[in-house]
Amino acid sequence: MKDVFITRIAKFLPNHPVTNEEMEEKLGYINGKTSKARRIVLRNNQIKKRYYAIDANGEVTHNNAQLTKEAVHQLCDKDFTVKDIQLLSCGTSSPDQILPSHAAMVHGYLKNGNLEINSPSGACCSGMNALKYGYLSVKTGQVDNAVCTGSERTSSWMKSDVFENELEHLKELEDNPMLSFNKEFLRWMLSDGAGAVLLENSPNGHPSFKIEWMEGYSYAHEMDACMYAGADKKEDGHLKPWSEFPAEAWGKMSLFAMKQDTRLLGDNILIKGVDSLKQAYEKHHIGPEDVDYYLPHISSYYFKDGLYKEMEKQGIPMPWEKWFLNLQNVGNIGAASIYAMLEELANSGKLKKGDRILLHVPESARFSYSYAYLTVH
């Protein structure tokens, strides 16, 4: 088995940062009215800036594959070009289409010759699953290098016209034309961007990060879906997929909007997250004392204190001075968030050889968690 190192890391955030006051203008007003939910969600998540692949005229500037291509290009220079990539592994929860796969579309934009591609599906953990596929491929000697990415272009899923058809239908029924909080919640949480890393079997970067191990845990065997798109959640908790609805219902029910069961989220995301972290610690015989920098992907600062307290409750407290977060300034970019955090830490000037870094990525879709333990070389 080979050692595996992250030797280069890059992020791409499109256009200019969008403030809280500018969000609704970018995404559009639903039913022509200012959202009441926006203030509540923003007060809790405490995000100040985020990025959208939308220009000043409301036109789309990048699709998801193009965002990812830009991040990959930022990894490359004259010493390592796109033509040197042996494996391309791309994770996202917001692909541009159902088929072809996201990685195939990124490869199409790169135009860099024949290579293996991999497209893990899912939500935030898809970026970590992309990383793990690359990690295992380099570790086993299948390839000498791999480029792994996480990206999202959720702004187009959150624009007002996605919901207008449903509101018009509700008006026809003389019902109250207001979106449920579960549908509107994620409009004020998610944003666009991409991150990419280069994996190699020797430490060529400054700094390089050796991947000591990666772990993943799913609780789908005991938990209902919590975040979903392309489906409707029934009273019994099961999802009815878009393919089982007539086409005319897709817009009337906003079936393709991302939705969040906020009750299920609040009751479980932290408990399961700390339970899975304990399992990872125990498997690898480490604890919080073996971590110098803790990078948790949290969707909202609302969960920050709760996560800290849940760790204390389950006997694995993580001191505040070890936490590293950038949510307030880049927003919640889903599968790309952990890449953007690590990129910012790598360029912070804080790291020294031997530092140990723990990446912790939760996914509320049906409660999955991914971990990576890195050492600085």
pLDDT of residue 290: 98
337: CATH: 3.40.47.10
Domain holding 356, by residue range, is 214-221+238-244+255-376
Tell me: do 277 and 167 sit in the same domain. Answer: no
pLDDT of residue 169: 64
Tell me: do 21 and 108 sit in the same domain. Answer: yes
Per the domain annotation, does 228 fall within a domain?
A: no
Tell me: do 37 and 150 sit in the same domain. Answer: yes
Tell me: do 53 and 111 sit in the same domain. Answer: yes
Amino acid, single-letter form, for residue 157: W
Per the domain annotation, does 101 fall within a domain?
A: yes
DSSP string over 53-72: SB-TTS-B---HHHHHHHHH
Exposed / middle / buried, residue 242 (Cβ in 10 Å: 0-12, 13-18, 19+): middle
Tell me: do 70 and 199 sit in the same domain. Answer: yes
pLDDT of residue 177: 47
- The low-confidence residues of the chain, meaning pLDDT below 70, are 166-167, 169-180
Tell me: do 261 and 156 sit in the same domain. Answer: no
Nearest to 191 by CA among 26, 20, 330: 330
pLDDT of residue 176: 53
Cα 127 to Cα 148: distance, rounded to the nearest angstrom? 8
Tell me: do 157 and 261 sit in the same domain. Answer: no
Buried b (16+ CB within 10 A) or exposed e, 11-39: bbbbeeebebeebbebbbebeeeebebbe
Tell me: do 64 and 190 sit in the same domain. Answer: yes
Nearest to 177 by CA among 160, 199, 191: 160
Tell me: do 297 and 180 sit in the same domain. Answer: no
Per the domain annotation, does 14 fall within a domain?
A: yes
pLDDT of residue 122: 95
pLDDT of residue 22: 94
Nearest to 55 by CA among 156, 150, 151: 156
Tell me: do 81 and 176 sit in the same domain. Answer: yes
pLDDT of residue 58: 87
Per the domain annotation, does 128 fall within a domain?
A: yes
Give the number of other CB atoms < 10 A from CB of residue 256: 14
pTM of the full predicted structure?
A: 0.94
Cα 363 to Cα 277: distance, rounded to the nearest angstrom? 14
Per the domain annotation, does 232 fall within a domain?
A: no
Tell me: do 203 and 259 sit in the same domain. Answer: no
Per the domain annotation, does 150 fall within a domain?
A: yes
Tell me: do 199 and 266 sit in the same domain. Answer: no
Q: Would you say 373 and 284 are in contact if contact means Cβ atoms under 8 Å apart?
A: yes
Per the domain annotation, does 250 fall within a domain?
A: no
Q: Count of domains in the chain?
A: 2
Per the domain annotation, does 230 fall within a domain?
A: no
For the chain, where are the E strands, in sequence order?
5-12, 18-19, 49-50, 87-92, 116-118, 145-152, 193-200, 209-218, 227-228, 231-233, 239-241, 259-260, 293-296, 356-363, 368-376
